[in-house]
Structure 1
Amino acid sequence: MKNKYKIIFALLMLLISSVISAQDELNRYLGITAENNPELKARFNEYMAALEVAPQVKALPDPQLAFGYFIQPVETRVGPQQFKLSASQMFPWFGTLKAKENVAIQTAKAKYELFEESKSKLFNTVRNNYFNLYFNQKAIAITMENLDILQVFRKLAIIKVEAGLVSSVDEYRISMEINDLENQLALLKDQQLVLTIAFNNLLNIDGQAPVDVPDQLWTDDFPLNKQAALDSIVQKNHQLLGIDLQQEALQYKKEVARLMEKPSFKIGLDYTIVGKGENNMVGTDAFLFPSVGVTIPLYRNKYKAMVQEVAYLETAKASEKADKTNMLETLFEINWKDYQDAVRRLSLYEKQLELAQKSLTLLETDYSTGNKNFEEILRMDRKVLKYNLELEKARTDKQASISFINYLMGK
């Protein structure tokens, strides 16, 4: 008895380790996707480009340099003026450059959330493709197993036909069933190649490279309750976080518009070269007093329009966030329903498959020992095939629903 428990425990640990290994394998594929996917690289480089805007907008305007040459020198008391150099620098109102920098920083952060959204969406697509590969591979294995069973039935039918116990129709029926399954099997194998290429293209690797999928998909439950998951979506969804950052950028943009109504200042310096004149023998460099200027924004309507423009954009963003929140809540409800349905189907088809397999065994025994209706055996065999496939479909649908909810939560 102790040996029996040891064997059961060993098999259980082997199953757990294989499930963990399968999840690690999927995580490895996600890591390859993050490194190689072209779309994700594009989103990341857009974010890096946005980071380079802040150093540009926070810098002072370029200083102005001017050179003037007197074609006819102007005579002065110290000599004729020959040419003049001027340098000036504009200074915007206090805080304007900082506000512009803040706009650029918040815009870059919004770009980062767009990158994170693209990554979460891509990871969800990779996981779904992985689950589809698993289901298709299981469908191939189940179909081949069912073909083996039908081959056994056909041999049994041939024996009974040769013994004159049943009509040749039994053999014909099972041959037709085998032909249908062989055609379906060929389609599934073609589909496996298409799914493999599509999966590898997401990873941006060789399309023909084999994909490692588990013998049996894990059946982990979603760890949060419904309300906790919905709250997490509202707080952590990257689309909503991106809109929040865009709203913050608009607040700084409004501040920039208001600061632009203030004057800006100009400080300059002139340097004049004076040549040899009648009153001096060698010429003198003459420094003039530094110049100070003020730019006064007289036409204020355009600045008021800029402020109003931002106000409208803020209202639009608030409406966009409300609409996006409603849409995400709807998507969550749909996928939560799908998750619950998959959990129910998983339990249902485990029971149905067990009953169908027992029924098929009994029918096979009855047919081999008597003249029971062979049509009933084929009907039950179809149910075994159906429940096997439905069970695997429920497993994949459950994990696909969990994957999509995690995507909505920003994972």
Structure 2
Amino acid sequence: MRKYIIILLLTQFCFPANAQDLQTYISIAQAENPGLQAYQTRLDIAREKVNEANWLPNTEISTSYFVSEPETRTGPQRARFSARQMFPWFGTIGSREELATVLSEAEYIEYQVARRELILKVASAYYQLQAFRAQQAVLAENLDLLETYERLALTAVEVGRASATDVLRLQIRQNELKQESKTLEQEFLAQAAAFDALLNRNPGTGISLPDSIPIPETDPPISEEGLLLNPELVKYDKLYESVSRAEVLNRREAAPMFGLGVDYIPVANRTDMSLPENGKDILMPMVSLSIPIFNNQFRSRSVQNEMRQTELELQRQERLNQLQAALARAIHERDAARITHGLLEENLEQVKQVESILLKNYETGTIDFNEILDIQEMQLRFQNRMTVAAKTYFEKSALINYLTQ
């Protein structure tokens, strides 16, 4: 019995050699998919924010001119020039950079989640295309079989062992299968267009699908511990760390700021007398301190950060519960698909035996073409269900690997 099945193991994580075509498509998708490129841009922006974090408050420069010149012992003052630079508390800039770094790491995890989801989408679309091709091959095989039955029926009509009605039934059944094949081809083209969209390439580029490969005899081992390392969970760990860094920064920003500056005042010479240091300019260094006396905003931020961490812990636990449930469901559905596939394979072998017996009866003139059609329809149904079971098995295997690897 021919099998039109492809092994559908998770694309990124454990490809067999015969799934190299799928790996090629995944590489194209990772390089060309605009959605993933948008995530890459977000990641680049987050990394650039690390450089942005290393900043100081604006340098203040001012100048003023005395309309009424104040007179000093050494001469009248003409103008004032000032410059001042404020500095945050010690460690504030470092804390700001650490926060930006953790946020960029969180963006990287988001990028990894998006990349893995894209891989899973590409694989699922690829598997569906392979299932369509398998079903088309099954239809072609059954059409060939019906043509053989038609020739037998025509021969039987000639010798009076069958009626023209039997031939018409066989021809009607062939037309039905041809119609199913055309419908399936349209579904294949629609799925191919969706597949090309994931790869961000022109529709109708063409897809290379491998030959049929049977379901593996044993399932790969499942690492449930790997579920805890899933990027969807690691994302919450990084966000939790970012809130911790934000709280450290908040405490540093709640500390005083200090500034250094200088005032320069040019002084004109006195003309009414001669004095030591007559007209000597004034240079006055300054030190300033900015104290956040009304610091309710910093206290409020601390409360918000604490509540945000609680929120992230609850969200992580909720997502973990969802992933565990998804893993259990995927394992169950994969095992059920394997069982279904095995039972259908046994049933199909029995159908083949019945078909062989009916054809042997043709030699004795006792063939019943109604039974032939019933057996052919049963065979087609079993083959299509086997294809669906195989697709389900490999899709669930891919999902299990996505969750645990």
TM superposition score normalised by structure 1: 0.89
In structure 2, how many angstroms separate the alpha carbons of the residues matched to 1:408 and 1:71?
76
2 CA distance for matches of 1:72 and 1:306?
49
Shift of 1:80: 3.0
- CA displacement at 1:256 relative to structure 2: 1.9
AA aligned to 2:247 is K
Deviation at 1:276, TM superposition (A): 4.4
Structure 1 residues 311-336: Cα deviation after superposition (integer angstroms, max 9, x where no partner): 11111001000100001111111111
Letter matched to residue 238 of structure 2: L
Q: CA deviation at 1:368?
A: 4.8
Q: Helix, strand or coil: the match of 2:284?
A: coil
Give the superposition deviation at 1:293: 1.1
The sequence identity of aligned pairs, in percent, is 26
Distance 1:46 1:218, change over 3 A: farther
- Please name the residue that 1:99 is paired with: 95
Residues 169/317 of structure 1: CA separation in 2 closer, same or farther (3 Å cut): same
Cα gap change, 1:20/1:63 in structure 2, threshold over 3 Å: closer, same or farther?
Answer: same
**2:240 is matched with which residue?**
247
Gaps of 5+ in 2: 1-14
Q: Give the Cα separation in 1 of the matches to 2:280 and 2:209.
A: 84
**Deviations 1:331-379 (Å, cap 9, x if unpaired)?**
1111111111122223223322222222212212213532232221111
Aligned equivalent of 1:72:
68
Alignment of 1:12-411 (within 5 A): 20-217=16-213, 219-220=215-216, 221-225=218-222, 228=223, 230-234=224-228, 236-278=229-271, 284=279, 286-409=281-404
Distance 1:269 1:217, change over 3 A: farther
Provide the rounded CA distance (Å) in 2 between the counterparts of 1:299 and 1:218: 72
Q: Which deviates more from structure 2 when the two are superposed, residues 301-310 or residues 369-378?
A: 369-378
SS state at 2:212 partner: coil
Query: Secondary structure at 1:219's aligned position in 2?
Result: coil
Tell me the secondary structure at the aligned position of residue 72 of structure 1: coil
Offset at 1:126? 0.3
The one-letter code matched in structure 2 to 1:373 is D
C-alpha contact (below 8 Å) 1:134/1:217 kept by paired residues: no
Cα distance in 1 for residues equivalent to 2:107 and 2:401 = 21
Q: Distance in 2 between matches of 1:175 and 1:346?
A: 30
Aligned residues: 388
8 A contact 2:77–2:265 mirrored in 1: yes
- Gapped regions of structure 1 (runs ≥ 5): 1-18
Change (3 A) 1:280 1:248: farther
Shift of 1:144: 1.1
Q: CA 1:128/1:280 → structure 2, altered by over 3 Å: closer, same or farther? A: farther
With the length of structure 2 as denominator, give the TM-score of the two structures: 0.90
**Deviates most, 145-154 or 351-360:** 351-360
Aligned-residue offset at 1:48: 0.8
Q: CA deviation at 1:300?
A: 2.7
1:293 and 1:25 map into 2 onto residues whose CA distance is 68
Cα offset, 1:280, TM superposition: 7.2
Cα gap change, 1:271/1:165 in structure 2, threshold over 3 Å: closer, same or farther?
Answer: same
C-alpha distance in structure 1 between counterparts of 2:232 and 2:371, whole Å: 55
Secondary structure of 1:224's match?
A: coil
In the aligned structure 2, how far is the partner of 1:46 from the partner of 1:257? 25
- Deviation per CA, 1:64-92: give whole Å up to 9, x if none: 22222333333333333333221111111
Q: For the structure 1 residues 85 and 159, does the alpha-carbon distance in structure 2 shift closer, same or farther, using more than 3 Å as the test?
A: same
Cα gap change, 1:325/1:21 in structure 2, threshold over 3 Å: closer, same or farther?
A: closer
In structure 2, the CA distance between the partners of 1:147 and 1:285, relative to structure 1 (3 Å rule), is: farther
Question: Residues 64 and 88 of structure 1 are in contact (CA less than 8 Å); yes or no, is this contact kept in structure 2?
Answer: yes
Q: Is the contact between residue 156 and residue 368 of structure 1 (CA under 8 Å) also seen in structure 2?
A: no
Using the alignment, how far apart are the partners of 1:351 and 1:178 within structure 2? 26
TM-superposed CA distance for 1:94, in Å, is 1.7
